[in-house]
Amino acid sequence: MLTATTSFTELTFLEEPSDLVVSRGNAVTLHCSIQSEAGMPNVVWMKDGKPLGLDDQNILWPNGSLHITNVDGSNRGLYQCMATLPQTGAIISRFASLHTAYLSRNFIREPQDLKIYLQEVAMFECEGDGLPAPNVTWYKDNSLLRDFKPNILVYPDGVLEINPVEFSDFGTYYCQVENTERARSSRLAKLEQNGNTDSFDDGTAPWFVATPRDTSIPEGSSTILFCGANGFDTLRKKPEITWLKDGETIIFNSTQGRLKLKGAGSLQIFNVQPFDAGTYSCRSNNLEDSIDAEATLTVLVRPHFETKPQSVMAYEKTEAIFNCKLKGSPAPEVRWTKDGLPLQESNYIIENEDHLRIMGLVTSDSGYYQCHGSNELGSIQAIAQLVVLPNTLATLTDRYSYGGQRSPPSKPTGLAAAIVSKRFITLRWDKDGDGGTTGYTVFWREQGSLRERMLNTTQPEATLQRLNPDSRYQIQVRAFNSVQYSWSYASMEVDTEKDVAVPSPPVNIRVTPQSPESILVTWDPPLQPKGQILKYLLSYEDSHGSPKQIEVLDTRKLLTGLMAFRTYTIRVVAVNENGEGMSTREMTTKTYSDKPSEPPQNATLETASSTSLIVRWEPPPREHQNGKITGYKIRYKMKGASRNGATVTTDGNRRLYALTNLEKMTEYQVRISALTVNGSGPLTPKLKATTYEDDLDESRVPDAPRTVTVTPHATSIRVSWTTPPPEKKIVVRGYVLGWGKGVPDSKKKVLGPDTQIYTIENLIPSSEYVITVRAMNNKGEGLTRYTTAITTKESVEERLIPLFPPVGLKTMVLSSSTIVLTWTDTSIGPSQKLLDNRYYTVRYRLATEAENDNNRYWYLNSTDLNAHIDHLRPNTKYEFDVKITKGRSVSPWSMKESNKTMEDVPATAPVDLTPVPKKNDPRAVIMNWQPPAKPNGQITGYLVFYTTDPKQDLREWVVDGVLEGDELSATIKRLTPSTTYYFKVQARNSKGYGPLSETVIYKTPQADGSGGGQIDPEYPRISPGGKGTMPDLSEDPKKTSVGGNGNSRDSEGRRGSNSESGLPTGIMNIIIASVVGAAFCVIIIVIAVIYCKRRDNEQRLKRQAQQNQQSPVKGKGQGRDLKPPDLWIHDNMEMKNIDKGQRSESTLTMSTTRRSSNDYRSMDDLPPYHEDRNEMYYQSPSDHDERERFLPPRQPGPGIIRPKATKPLMIPVDAQPPPREPIAMVTALPNGALNPNLDRGEPGVMSRPGFPRTQYNMQYTSGGPRVNAGDLPQPPPSQKPPDCHSLGQGQPMAVIAPGQHEFDGHRSLPRGNRPMRSFTSPNPHNQSNLFSGVHHHSTPKHQIVKPQQSPYKKAGPPLTSAPIKPRAIPVIKPKAPDVVLKAGVDPDIQKSESTEELSAEMANLDCLMKDLNAITQQNFEV
C-alpha cells in the first residue's frame, strides 16, 4: 500500500531496452538503467505483458539489465523493464522487440523474362524476405555480374538496370539474397531480343519495364522510385519520362538537388522529409501515346512528444489532469499506465486523445503515471508523479479574522436539485443574506463509492457532470469566506434518471474499399447486448451528400453503388427490443479511384500562326473526375491522314497547350481527354482549325476580337473572347482587358497572346460593369470590343451538412445571472452518452437584439449535453440555440429557445441627485434624481437619507419614507434654516436595496428665503485668517460630486458613481492643464480691461476736480445749475413697531452680502434697463459670495429680529452721467428690533438680517477722502468720539452704506412697481411721510459697504476728526398717503439747491456708520 507523501520523488530511466535481431544460439543483453532519489529500486522484467522468470538462461544484472545466454525461438517477444520503489510507486520502460534472424524461401520480388529491341531498356527487380534485411547480388549466365560496364547499373535496393541493351547483354539472369542466417537464389529470367520489326514503321506506344511501388521510409532516409519504359514512335525516338507529384510536374531545378533523375528515368530522393509524402506518377510518352504509373510515398516519423505530462500535487476529492500530446507518422497509439500496469478507464478515470483526467481523487491514486506512444518505428514513454494530499475542512487561513475573532459564514439553505438527468444534476440554493460568504464548495459521491468529488463556485448554483445513470448521489454544500468554511453544511441525496437497457456499441468494426464503387463493412456483436439483438443500423455518408441508413441482419455488409474516389464515414448501431444502442466510433475510408467518366469542358482550338495551333480546355466536372487528375492527353492529326496522328500529354494543372511544328495552310483535328492513375477518360469531340498560309503582318494594329462572352457571378465576371479575324493575318502580341462600374477602362489588365479567358475578381454584387477587350502588337492597341455585364446578387451557399441539429432545447433559470440549457442529440441514441470527439456550441444574445436583427452573439462550447451559462444580466431576456461540431462536419443551428433571468438588487445607485429650494418655504427642499443605470428589475421605491453631521453612522441618518418606484423627486420638509445638510438616495426593487448615491451637500436658505443652495465640496472656504480650507465632509471630496453626481460617471459611462474606468490620467492632466491655462488667460484679460477702465475713470474724475477747483461754488445762486441727487424710496417700505422696553431710535443698517439669484424665479421677472432715465439696478449677490455659506453660524445681537426680504430702495440721479464708482445703499431698520423668541428656536424665526434695498448713487470728488465703514480710525485716548446716537435722540438715524460697483459684472436688481418717494425734499415735514404705508413685519437685510462722499460736499476735515453738527433727519412715521413722488414732476416737493444740507446729512450718516461697524464686525467679514 502506498503512503501519502508531500513531495515528489524522482524515479526515471537512464537507459531503456532497444529492438534487437539475434541469430539463434547467440547471447543478447537488453539494457536497463534507473535513477532514483530513494535508493535502488526493485527491477522486474516483463515479456509480452507478463513477469519474466529468472533462471540460468535469463539473468538479471545488478544494474537492472537482462542477459539471455542462449537465444531461441521462445525468446521472441516484447520486453519491458519495470522498476518499483516501495511505498512510492513503479515505472515501466518502453517496448523492445527481440527477433531471431531468418531468411524465407519465398521472394517478395523475383526477376521476370524480357523481350526487347536493341537500344531499349532492361530492368530486373529482386527482394528477399528475411531478418536482418538480406543483401542482393546479381548473376548473368551463372557468373557474378558487376557494374563495370557503363550501361549496367546495380542498385542497393535489388534492381538491375541495363540501358541501352546491347547484343552482349542478352542471356539469363538471377539474383541471390543473403543475411546472417543463409543465402537463397531466385528463379532464372531471360533477356531476349525482339525480332519483330514490323512495328518500327507504325511506331509503338510506350510500355513499362519497371514501375514505381508504394514505399514507406523513415524521415531523413533516402529512397529511389524506379521507373523504366520502352517504345519507339514513328520518328524512332524513345519514350520521354517525366515525374509528377500530386498531379503537378516536378521541376528538378527547384528542389535544390534533393530530387533528381537516376538511370533510365528513376526518381531518387535524398533526406526524405514529411512534406515529400504524396502520390508520385511516372509518365512515359512519345508521339504515339502516353502512359502513367503511380506510387505512394509514405514518410514514417518516430513518435515524439509535443507535450509531456507534468507531476501533479492535488487534494483529495479534487481532480488531476495529465496532458500528453504525441506526434508521429503514422499517428502513435497512446496508452496510459499507473505504477507500471495498464490503467483501466472508468467514469472517474477518462482517457482522451491528449490528456488523462482523474476525478474524485483518493489517496490510492498517488503513484507514477506514464504516457506511452508507439507506431511501427518504435515506442516512447514519459513519467509524471501524482501526490494526493489530505483535504480537510480546516481554516483556510489564520491571517484573516473579523475583530480578532473567527467569523465563519452560515451554512447554505434551500438546497434543491433544479435539473436531474441521466448524466448530470444541476443544484441551486439560497444566497447568503449577510453578505459574508465569498464562495461555496460542493461535494458529491456515488453511493457505495469511495471517490468523492468537489468543485468550488461563487454562485449559488452548480452543475455536477459525468454521472452514472440510475445511481444515487450524496451531495453536500458548504459556504466559505476569507476566514474558514461554515461549521455545518446543507446535504441531500439525488437519484439520476434510469438509463434505457439498450446494447453497447458493436466492436471491431472494419471498413475496406473493394473497388471504385464498393466498400466492405464488418463488425462483431456488442459485448453487452442487454437482450436479443434484432438488427443493426448501418449509417454511411460521403463528404458531399446526405447520410443514408440501411438495416442489416448480419455482421457484415458490402456497400455498393458508391462514387469513385470519395471519402465515406461509416458507423453501426445495434438494436434490441428497447431501441437503438450506442454507436460505434466513426470509421472513415475512401473508395478507389477510376478513369474520368466525362471529357474536359469548354475545349477550343484556334490558329496561332502558319505552323502552330493553340488548344484550351477546362477540367471535367468534379463529380466525374473519379480521382486526382494527373494530366491531359491531346491527340491531333492532319485532316485525311490514315494514321492515328500524334499524342502529347500535359500536366494535371495545365489548361492550355500550343501545338507547334505543323504544316502551313493545313487543317488539323484535335481531341482531348483527362487522365488519372487509372487511365484516360473519354475524348472530346473533334476540334478543327487551319494553319495560316504565311506568317502574319505587324505593320498594322489588330482588329477588334470577333466575339466577347461574359459569365457574371456575385463578385466576379468570367470573360472569354476570340481572336481578331484570322484572314487579316495581323500579329497579335497580347490583349488588353478593361472594366469599370458604369464606365469602361477604370481598371486594365494586360494578358498574353495565348490567353482568351480571364476572371475579374473582387466586384460588387448587383452592379453593372462595362467590359472592353482589344488586341495589341508592337504597333499598338487595336480596335475595342465592348460589352456589359451585371453581377448577380450575393447569396450564401449552404453546404450540405450531414449532421442533424440538436432537438429538445430547454432552459432553466437558476438565478439572476445563470441559466442552464439541456438538449438531445438524436445521432447518439437514447443513452445520450458521448463516445467520440464531438462538441456542442451554444450561442445566445439579448432578446432585444434579436428583435432588432442584431447578429452580436456570445458563444460557449460544451462537451456535454448541457451548458451552464453564467455572468448574465439580471432581469434580462436571452435567446439561445445550439449546434453540433464533429470534425469537419457541422450541423445547422437548433430551434431557438428564450428565457429571462431573475431580478437582482440594483447594481448602481440613483444618479443626478439635485436639490432645488421650494418656493416660499425655506425649511423645505425638493430632491430630484434619475433612476439607477442598472436597476436589475422593476424599481419599487426610493429612500432619501439626510443628516447635518456626515460623520454619523448611516443608521443615524434621517430617512424620508419609501417613495413609489416611478417617483423621481421628494420634498424634504421641516428643515432648519441656514443649515448644511447631506443627502443620499437609495433605490430598491423586489430583491432588496441597491447602493447609496453619492453625497450631495445643500444649505437651506435663511428664514427670509435668501441664500442657501447646493454646495460644492471642493470649493475652499475662506477662513478668518484668509486661508482656503476644504469643508469638513464625511466623504472624500474626490468621490463627492455636486449637482446630482454630475461630475462622475459609472463603469458604463452613465452619470452617477465614481469609476476607475474614466478617462486615462494622461488625458485628464492635459484637459486640466488646458482649462487652467484658458482660465488664466481670461483672468489676465479681465484684469487688464478693469485696470484700463479704472484708469480712464480716475483721469475723468481728476479733470472734473480740476474744473471744480477752478469754479468753486459760492452761495445758493451759484449752484443752481447743479442738480442734487434724488433719493427714491419704495412707498411700501416695511417697519417694525418699536417696543417701549427697547431703544426708541431707528437705525439704517448696511451689509455687503449679496442677494442670491434664487430670490427671483427667472430672468423674465427682471425689468428692462432704461438709459433715458439714467437709473441703475443693483444686482443681488452673486455666487462669488457663496463662500459665506461655509462660515460658522452667526449669532445675532440681542434685540434684533431677522427680517424678511424687502423690495429695493432706488435712488435715480438725474442730469448725471452713469456713475462708475460704488453705489451707496440705504436701509432703515428699527433699532432694538430683536426677537426674544430667537434663542428659543421657535419655528418660523430666521436668524439672518435682510439685504438693503436702497440705492444711493454718488461720485467721489477728486480731493475728498474715501473712508470704509469698517476701517474708521480710532480716536486718541484724550479725544472722545462723537456720540452718534445723541445726534438725533428719538428720531430714526440714517447710515449710508456704499454698495457694489455699478459695472461689477452682475445684473441689476429689478425696479419695484411700488410708488417712490423723493429723499431730497428740503421740507422735513414732507420727508416724514416717506415711509408711510410700510408693513411693520418686514425689515431690510444688512449689507456691509464702503461709504462714499457726495461730490457736492465742500472740502473739509475728515469725518472722524471732530463731530459735525448734522441736519436732523425727520422721524419717519408709519402712516402716509400712497402718493407717487417723482423728481421734477411733483409740484409739492422742491429739490434742495444747496450742497450744505446734503453734506450735513452725509456727516450724520458717516457718524451712524460707527454703530453699523460695531454690529457688523461681530457677524460679517469685510
- List beta partners, residue 45: 81
pLDDT reported for residue 1109 = 52
pLDDT digits (tens, 9 = 90+) for 434-476: 667 889 999 998 998 888 888 889 888 899 988 888 899 999 9
What percent of the chain clears pLDDT 70, i.e. is strictly above it?
71
pTM for this model (two decimals):
0.57
- Given CA atoms 1159, 1162, 1165, 1171 in this order, what sign does their dihedral have? positive
* Distance, CA of 1092 to CA of 1100 (rounded, Å): 12
Listed residue (1336, 1322, 1332) closest to 1380, CA to CA: 1332
Does residue 1066 carry a pLDDT above 70?
no
Grid cell locating 930:
434619475
Confirm if 295 and 334 have CB atoms less than 8 A apart: no
Does residue 337 carry a pLDDT above 80?
yes
Tell me the average pLDDT across 778-801.
78
Does residue 1227 carry a pLDDT above 60?
no
* Distance, CA of 855 to CA of 881 (rounded, Å): 13
* Distance, CA of 884 to CA of 95 (rounded, Å): 39
pLDDT reported for residue 559 = 94
pLDDT digits (tens, 9 = 90+) for 204-255: 889 999 999 999 999 999 999 999 999 988 888 889 999 999 888 898 888 8
Comparison of pLDDT for 1183 and 710, the residue scoring more = 710
Confirm if 678 and 627 have CB atoms less than 8 A apart: yes
Grid cell locating 246:
500530386
* Distance, CA of 15 to CA of 558 (rounded, Å): 49
Does residue 987 carry a pLDDT above 80?
yes
Tell me the average pLDDT across 790-808.
71
- List beta partners, residue 570: 540, 587
Residue showing cell 516483463 = 46
- Please give the distance of CA 518 from its chain centroid, rounded to a whole number: 50
The lowest-confidence range among 310-319, 1092-1101, 1394-1403 is 1394-1403
pLDDT reported for residue 207 = 92
Does residue 626 carry a pLDDT above 80?
yes
Confirm if 962 and 942 have CB atoms less than 8 A apart: yes
Q: How far is CA 302 from CA 218, 219, 330, in A?
A: 8, 8, 8
* Distance, CA of 979 to CA of 1015 (rounded, Å): 12
Beta carbons within 10 angstroms of residue 535's beta carbon? 14
Does residue 1339 carry a pLDDT above 50?
no
The lowest-confidence range among 856-870, 903-917, 1135-1149 is 1135-1149
pLDDT digits (tens, 9 = 90+) for 1067-1081: 777 788 888 888 888
Band (915; pLDDT cuts 50, 70, 90): very high
pLDDT reported for residue 1391 = 45
* Distance, CA of 364 to CA of 1291 (rounded, Å): 111
pLDDT digits (tens, 9 = 90+) for 1256-1308: 333 333 333 333 333 334 444 444 444 444 444 444 433 333 343 333 333 33
Tell me the average pLDDT across 339-350.
83
Comparison of pLDDT for 1323 and 551, the residue scoring more = 551
pLDDT reported for residue 573 = 93
Element (H or E) spanning 1109, and its range? Answer: helix 1065-1110
Q: How far is CA 10 from CA 80, 356, 381, 427, 470, in A?
A: 20, 21, 16, 42, 43
Listed residue (304, 307, 308) closest to 327, CA to CA: 304
Q: How far is CA 57 from CA 63, 75, 1334, in A?
A: 18, 10, 137
* Distance, CA of 454 to CA of 318 (rounded, Å): 6
From the CA atom positions of the chain, what is the Rg in Å? 55
Identify the burial level of 885 via C-beta atoms within 10 angstroms of its C-beta, where 0-12 means exposed, 13-18 middle and 19 or more buried.
middle
Identify the burial level of 978 via C-beta atoms within 10 angstroms of its C-beta, where 0-12 means exposed, 13-18 middle and 19 or more buried.
buried
Confirm if 592 and 620 have CB atoms less than 8 A apart: no
pLDDT reported for residue 547 = 80
Band (402; pLDDT cuts 50, 70, 90): very low
Does residue 317 carry a pLDDT above 70?
yes
* Distance, CA of 811 to CA of 496 (rounded, Å): 19
Q: How, if at all, do strands 378-389 and 312-315 pair?
A: parallel
The lowest-confidence range among 556-560, 920-924, 943-947, 1133-1137 is 1133-1137
The lowest-confidence range among 644-653, 715-724, 1165-1174 is 1165-1174
Listed residue (756, 770, 769, 757) closest to 715, CA to CA: 769
pLDDT reported for residue 215 = 92
In 1359-1397, which positions are buried (b, 16+ CB within 10 angstroms) versus exposed (e)? bbeebbebbebbbbebebeeeebebeeeeebeebbbbeb
Average pLDDT of the residues of the chain:
76
Band (1019; pLDDT cuts 50, 70, 90): low
Tell me the average pLDDT across 737-766.
90
In SS3 terms, 694-747 reads as: CCCECCCCCCCCCCEEEEECCCCEEEEECCCCHHHCECCCEEEEEEEECCCCCE
Band (1204; pLDDT cuts 50, 70, 90): very low
- The amino acid that residue 1205 corresponds to is A
Does residue 1393 carry a pLDDT above 90?
no
The lowest-confidence range among 257-271, 326-340, 1001-1015, 1295-1309 is 1295-1309
CA angle 903, 906, 910 (to 5 degrees): 145
pLDDT reported for residue 525 = 94
- List beta partners, residue 789: 769
| Residues with Cβ within 8 Å of residue 863, at least 6 apart in sequence | 834, 839, 840
Comparison of pLDDT for 88 and 1359, the residue scoring more = 88
pLDDT reported for residue 1334 = 38
Q: Is the omega angle on the peptide bond into residue 132 within 30 degrees of 0, that is, cis?
A: yes
3-state secondary structure of 1076: helix
Does residue 175 carry a pLDDT above 80?
yes
- The amino acid that residue 1201 corresponds to is I
- Please give the distance of CA 1280 from its chain centroid, rounded to a whole number: 86
Does residue 829 carry a pLDDT above 90?
no
Which DSSP letter does residue 1403 get? H
Grid cell locating 538:
448501418
pLDDT reported for residue 1107 = 59
| Residues with Cβ within 8 Å of residue 440, at least 6 apart in sequence | 412, 429, 456, 457, 458, 459, 460, 462, 477, 478, 479, 480
Grid cell locating 1148:
439704517
Tell me the average pLDDT across 77-94.
92
* Distance, CA of 1288 to CA of 346 (rounded, Å): 114
The lowest-confidence range among 762-776, 940-954, 1172-1186 is 1172-1186
* Distance, CA of 735 to CA of 774 (rounded, Å): 6
* Distance, CA of 485 to CA of 394 (rounded, Å): 7
